[in-house]
Structure 1
Amino acid sequence: MNLNIKDTFNKELPADPITENSRRQVMGACYSFVKPKQPLKPSLIHSSDEMGANLGLSQADLESKKFLDIFSGNSVLPNTNPYAMCYGGHQFGNWAGQLGDGRAINLFEVNHMDKQWALQLKGAGETPYSRTADGLAVLRSSIREYLCSEAMYHLGVPTTRALSLALTGDKVLRDVLYNGNPAYEKGAVVCRVAPTFIRFGNFEILSARQDVATLKTLTNYTIRHFFPHIKEGAKEGYLQLFKEVSERSLEMIIHWQRVGFVHGVMNTDNMSILGLTIDYGPYGWLEGYDHGWTPNTTDRQYKRYRYGNQINIGLWNLYQLANALYPLIEDAKPLEAVLNSYRENYQTKYLSMMKSKIGLFTDHGEDAELLNRLEDNLEMTETDMTIFFRNLGRFKKSSKISTSLPPYITDAFYAPEEVQGELFNTWKQWFTDYSLRLNKESLSNIQRQEKMDSINPKYVLRNYMAQLAIDEADTGNYGLINELYQLLKQPYQEQEEAEKWYAKRPEWARHKVGCSMLSCSS
C-alpha cells in the first residue's frame, strides 16, 4: 500500500501545545494531536474500490491487512501525525462554544493525480473535544454514513465520500431513543474522505475568542489550498471567499431539495466550507412529500431543520460565517450584499430546479404558479416524492385526464382512494394545465422523459432500506450492504433486476425505529 502522503493542515496551521488526550478548552490552535483507539478485533465489512482508486489504492491494497489496520485505527502510518480539529458552532440556533472533532480523527492527507484528499476516521475514540462522550460509533450509524455519502455522490450532490466500513470488535453503549434505556451495540468505524473537513465552525470559534491572528492564518490556508484563484491575505480575497462559500452552499442545498434529502442537523459545525454535505447523522429521505418533515427526534417540536426550511437555514448559517469573517473584512455592507444575493438567487435557482423536475426547460410567466399548485397538491394526500417525479416523465403532451388519473401517477399515492371528489378535480385541473404548458416545450415526449430521468432519481437510500441493511448486518450478514451500495451507484438507471427497491415505504416501516425519525446518536 503506497500512498502519496502530503499533509498540509497539521503542518501549516498552529497545533495545540498540550499533547495529552484530555478534555479541555483548546486555545490558539486549529487542532490537537491524538491517536486513534486500538480496536479489540477489527474486521472489514466493505470498502469502496472507486474511492480507493481516487487515492491510488488497488483492489489488493483494499483487501490487505495493512489497509484494515490503518483504517480501523489499529495502527498509524509511519511519519504521519493524526489529529482532531478544533471548532465551535451554533447548535439549533444557539452558540455552543467549543465543539471540535469529538469522535473523528484525521489520519493524513493524500495527493493523487493532482487532487488532495483528507482521510478521517469516524468512531475511532475519544479526543480533547469529546466532552462527556466516548468518541466511538456504532454499526448502525456507520452503515448509514457509509452508504449515504456514496449514494449522494452518485446522485450528483456535493458530498464527502467514504472509503471503508469496519467493525471494531468493541461493544459501545448507546441510548438509541434517548429514553433512558441504553444498550450495548457493535462498534464500527468509517473512513471518510474529502478535500478538507474544515467547517463554518472552525472560523467561528476563533472569531468568538477574538483570536484574529489564527483566524487569518486559517482563512489564508483555506484560500491557498481550496480556492487558489482567490487573492490570499487581502480583504477583497476574504470577501470573495465568503461569496463562493455562499454560492456553493446554496448549490448543495438546492440539490438536497431536488432529491428529497433532509440533513436533519444543519448546525454551523456541520456546514462544510467547500459546500459539501457533511456529517450524516439523523438524516432522512422524504417518503411522502412534506415540507414540514424532519428526521431528527431532537427537532421534533420546533422542526427547525425540516425539509422546507433547509434553504433558509443555509442563509442563517451563512450569517454566522459572515460574523466570523468580519474581523478580517471590517465592512458589513459587502457581506450583507452577498447574503442578499443568496436570498435572491435561491428563489431563482429553486424555481429552475423544480421546473426541470417536471420537464419545463423554457421560461413562461405562469410556471411559478403551476409549481406552487403542484406542491400544494402533493401535500393534500400522502404522495411518494421519488415515485411521483420519476413517473411524471411518462406523462405525454397530448394526455387528457377524464375520470381517473393514470396508474403511473396513482402509484405514488399512499392512499389512492382519497383522490376523489374535490381532490381529484384539483389534480385533474393541474394536469390539464400541465399538458397545455408542455405543448410550449420543443422537446419531444421521449426527449423530455430522458432529460427528466436524469434529474429525478429512481433509487434513493430510503430510510427503511438502510434499516434493513443494518438489521442484516447485526446478524453478521453484509450482503445487503453491498447490494444497496451497487444499486445506488446508478440511481438514475432503470436496473430492472432491482425493481423491488422502487417502491413506497412499506407500512411496517412507518413508525419503526430507524425508518421514520432518528436521534442524534444515529
Structure 2
Amino acid sequence: MPSKAQQFHQAAFRNSFVEGLRGETKINLQPRQVPGFHYSPVQPTPVADPRLLAWSAELAAFLGLEQPPERGPAVDALAGNLIVDSMRPFAARYGGHQFGNWAGQLGDGRAMSLGELTAQDGTTWEIQLKGAGPTPYSRRADGRAVLRSSVREFLCSEAMHHLGVPTTRALSLVATGDTVVRDMFYNGNPQPEPGAIVARVAPTFVRFGNFQILAAHGETDNLRALADYVICHHFPDLGEPSAEVYLRWFAEVGRRTAVMVAQWMSVGFVHGVMNTDNMSILGLTIDYGPYGWLEPYEPDWTPNTTDFATHRYAFGQQPRVALWNLMQLAQALTPLVPDVQALRQGLDEYVTTLNTTRHQLMLRKLGLTEQATADDQALAATLLEALAAAAVDMTVFFRRLAHAAPALLAVDHNEETVFQEVLNAAAYPESNSAALLPWLRQYAQRLRQESAAPEAIRASMLAANPKYVLRNYLAQQAIEAAETGDLAPLNRLMEVLKTPFAEQPEHNELAAKRPEWAREKPGSATLSCSS
C-alpha cells in the first residue's frame, strides 16, 4: 500500500551508492584529483534565502511527497541548507570525452546527491541537487547554477518525460536569494545573475564517464565494483555479475541508448553537448544545458555556441555520436571481459535497435502500419531529405499532416490544396516548402493503402506528433518573467507541456513557430554551456 505523503525533509533516505562503493572518508571540498575512489562525501553550501519557485506535483506524488510551502524546512532541504540524518551527500567521480577529446577527471562539479527515496511503487530514486555549491570536482568553478539554466533544466526534464522520451526528472526549482556571476557567451562580459537550485531525480546518475575514469587510471577493482553495483541495483534481470553478464549488460546499455536517441530524432530534440560524461548508463537524457528543438528542419543545426566550429553535436550527428560514445564505454569495460571483441555485439545492438526504432516511430508519425510495404523505408528516408531541402518547421509540419490525413483520404478533396495548407502553416520566410510536394504526393498514395478509418488514422498520428514542445524562445520568455518575479509564464508552460499531444486550443500561441524576433535573440536561438 502507498505510504502517506510527507514533506521532503521528513523522508527517510537510503544510501546504496555510498554504502556499496568506495568513497573518501573525510569531507574536503577543495578542488583536486581524487584517484582511487568512486565518490567524495560533500556538504552543500548554504544559501541566503531559499524560496520554492516550481514543483512537479506528479513526480512528487509518485515519490510520496507533499508540496511544501514557499519557505520552510522542506525548501531548506531542497536548497541544501538542511541536511537530515538519513542523508549522506556525495559527489561522484567521473571523467569523459568532451567534444571528442579526453578531458580527464570531471566529476560532479555543481551537483551533489543526497541519497535515495523509495517511491510509491517500491522503486528507488536518487535525489540530486544541482547548484548547491562546490565539490572536489568543481575545478575553478563555484558549484552554483543560475536561474536561467535551472528553469531550462526543470522545464525540459518534465517536458521530455511527458513526451515519452527516457529522461531524468526534476522535482523542484528553488531560488537561492544569492547572485551568481556568469559570462553567458564566454565573450568577456560576466554579469551577476540570480541563483537557483534544481532537485533532479533518477534511479541513478551514473554515466559512461564513471567507468572511463576508473579504466583510465587502471583501477580495475573499482571498475568491477561499479559495474557490479549498477548491474545488481539497476539491471537485476541480467543475473549475478560475470564476464557473460557484463557483455549482456553492455548490449542492454546500447539498446537503451538507441531507444533514447531514436526518440530524440522523432521529436526533433537536440541535446547540444553529447560528451561521454553526459551519457546516462540507463539510457536516460541527462544534463540539460544548451539543448534545443529543431524549428526549421536543419540536420546540421546545433544550439550550442561552443560547437559552432565543428557542429559535432548537431541534430543529424546525434545517432553517430551516441555510437562513438558507446565505443568509448566499451573500451573502458575491456578489463572486465576476456574476449573484448565480444563487446561489438553491444554496438551492433545499438545500430539495429536505433534503425528499427526510428523506422517504427516514423511510421507512427505518418499513420502507417508496421505491416506496410517494402517501400516504406525509402519513403521515410526520402522524407528526411525533403524536410532538409524544405527547411520547414518540423513540429508544425507533422502536426498539420496529422490533421490533414482525413482530407487526403477523401475522394472529393483537392490534395494539392491540402498540401499547400500544411506547407504554409509550417513554412518560415527562408523555407523552400515546394521541395516537399513530390514527397507529399507519394505519401498520399501510400496513405490510401491503409485500411483503418480516416479519423482513427488521424487520432493515431496526433498521438505520435506533439503540438507543444519546449521551444527555446518559450523557455526564454519564462526565464525573463521569472527573473522579475513573475512565475505565471513558467507555471503555464509547465502545465501545457504535461499534455503535449492534446489540442489545448486556449494555449495555441504556445504551439506557434519561432517568431522572427527570436531568430538571433540570445537564449531563444543559441546558448552556451554557461550555468
Deviations 1:424-446 (CA, angstroms, capped at 9, x unpaired): 3x533322211111122122211
Listed as ranges, the matches of 1:354-373 within 5 Å are 354-361=362-369, 362-373=371-382
Listed as ranges, the matches of 1:344-423 within 5 Å are 344-361=352-369, 362-393=371-402, 394-395=404-405, 396-398=408-410, 399-402=413-416, 405-415=419-429, 419=433
2:338 counterpart of 1:333: no
Deviations 1:479-513 (CA, angstroms, capped at 9, x unpaired): 11100010000000001111111111010000000
Deviations 1:62-107 (CA, angstroms, capped at 9, x unpaired): 6561111100111111232211000011111111111000000111
2:259 counterpart of 1:251: yes
Q: 1:185 to 1:448 in 2, by over 3 A?
A: same
Deviates further, 393-402 or 380-389: 393-402
Question: Equivalent of 1:497, from 491, 506, 524?
Answer: 506
Question: Equivalent of 1:166, from 170, 174, 182?
Answer: 174
Q: 1:323 to 1:205 in 2, by over 3 A?
A: same
Shift of 1:297: 0.5
Q: Secondary structure at the match of 1:97?
A: strand
Please say if residues 109 and 136 of structure 2, whose CA atoms lie closer than 8 Å, have aligned partners that are also in contact: yes
Distance 1:77 1:472 in 2: 33
Q: Which residue of 2 aligns with 1:213?
A: 221
Q: 1:213 to 1:435 in 2, by over 3 A?
A: same
Q: Which residue of 2 aligns with 1:112?
A: 119
Q: Secondary structure at the match of 1:405?
A: helix
Question: Equivalent of 2:97, from 67, 90, 101?
Answer: 90
Q: Which residue of 1 aligns with 2:3?
A: none
Question: Equivalent of 1:25, from 27, 33, 43?
Answer: 33
Please say if residues 465 and 501 of structure 2, whose CA atoms lie closer than 8 Å, have aligned partners that are also in contact: yes
Distance 2:152 2:430 in 1: 31
Please say if residues 49 and 62 of structure 1, whose CA atoms lie closer than 8 Å, have aligned partners that are also in contact: no
Distance 1:404 1:87 in 2: 53
Please say if residues 172 and 198 of structure 2, whose CA atoms lie closer than 8 Å, have aligned partners that are also in contact: yes
2:99 counterpart of 1:99: no
Shift of 1:178: 0.8
Shift of 1:418: 5.0
Q: 1:62 to 1:440 in 2, by over 3 A?
A: farther
Q: Which residue of 2 aligns with 1:460?
A: 469
Please say if residues 16 and 27 of structure 1, whose CA atoms lie closer than 8 Å, have aligned partners that are also in contact: no
Distance 1:307 1:28 in 2: 37
Q: Secondary structure at the match of 2:415?
A: coil
Distance 1:402 1:473 in 2: 45
Q: Which residue of 1 aligns with 2:323?
A: 315
Tell me the amino acid that sits aligned with residue 510 of structure 1.
R
Question: Equivalent of 1:51, from 9, 34, 59?
Answer: 59
Distance 1:332 1:275 in 2: 22
Distance 2:241 2:474 in 1: 48
Q: Which residue of 1 aligns with 2:195?
A: 187
Q: Which residue of 2 aligns with 1:303?
A: 311
Question: Equivalent of 2:495, from 475, 486, 493?
Answer: 486
Distance 2:168 2:418 in 1: 44
Listed as ranges, the matches of 1:212-231 within 5 Å are 212-231=220-239
Q: Secondary structure at the match of 1:163?
A: strand
Report how many residues are paired. 516
2:449 counterpart of 1:440: yes
Tell me the amino acid that sits aligned with residue 75 of structure 1.
L
Distance 2:245 2:516 in 1: 53
Q: Which residue of 2 aligns with 1:79?
A: 86
Tell me the amino acid that sits aligned with residue 74 of structure 2.
F
Percent same amino acid at aligned positions? Answer: 49
Q: Which residue of 1 aligns with 2:162?
A: 154
Question: Equivalent of 2:74, from 63, 67, 86?
Answer: 67
Shift of 1:348: 2.6
Please say if residues 400 and 432 of structure 1, whose CA atoms lie closer than 8 Å, have aligned partners that are also in contact: no
Please say if residues 32 and 84 of structure 1, whose CA atoms lie closer than 8 Å, have aligned partners that are also in contact: yes
Shift of 1:390: 0.7
Q: 1:417 to 1:230 in 2, by over 3 A?
A: closer
Q: Secondary structure at the match of 1:137?
A: coil
Please say if residues 34 and 105 of structure 1, whose CA atoms lie closer than 8 Å, have aligned partners that are also in contact: yes
User: Please, which runs of 5 or more residues in structure 2 have no aligned partner?
Assistant: 1-6
Distance 1:470 1:405 in 2: 37
Shift of 1:379: 2.2
Structure 1 segments, 4+ long, off by >3 Å, are 61-64, 398-406, 416-419
Distance 1:313 1:298 in 2: 16
Deviations 1:457-485 (CA, angstroms, capped at 9, x unpaired): 00000000000001111111111110001
Tell me the amino acid that sits aligned with residue 112 of structure 1.
A
Q: Secondary structure at the match of 2:224?
A: helix
Aligned Cα root-mean-square deviation (Å): 1.6
Q: Secondary structure at the match of 1:354?
A: helix
Distance 1:518 1:388 in 2: 25
Q: TM-score, normalised by structure 2?
A: 0.94
Deviates further, 125-134 or 368-377: 368-377
Q: Which residue of 1 aligns with 2:440?
A: 431
Deviates further, 142-151 or 398-407: 398-407
Q: 1:462 to 1:372 in 2, by over 3 A?
A: same
Deviations 1:272-309 (CA, angstroms, capped at 9, x unpaired): 11110000000111111111111110111111111011
Shift of 1:58: 1.9
Distance 1:198 1:449 in 2: 40
Q: Secondary structure at the match of 2:426?
A: coil
Distance 1:230 1:375 in 2: 37
Shift of 1:402: 4.1
Q: TM-score, normalised by structure 1?
A: 0.96
Distance 2:173 2:269 in 1: 22
Deviates further, 184-193 or 369-378: 369-378
Distance 1:238 1:143 in 2: 38
Tell me the amino acid that sits aligned with residue 158 of structure 2.
E
2:524 counterpart of 1:515: yes
2:484 counterpart of 1:475: yes
Shift of 1:229: 1.1
Shift of 1:400: 4.2
Listed as ranges, the matches of 1:6-25 within 5 Å are 6-25=14-33
Distance 2:490 2:355 in 1: 38
2:149 counterpart of 1:141: yes
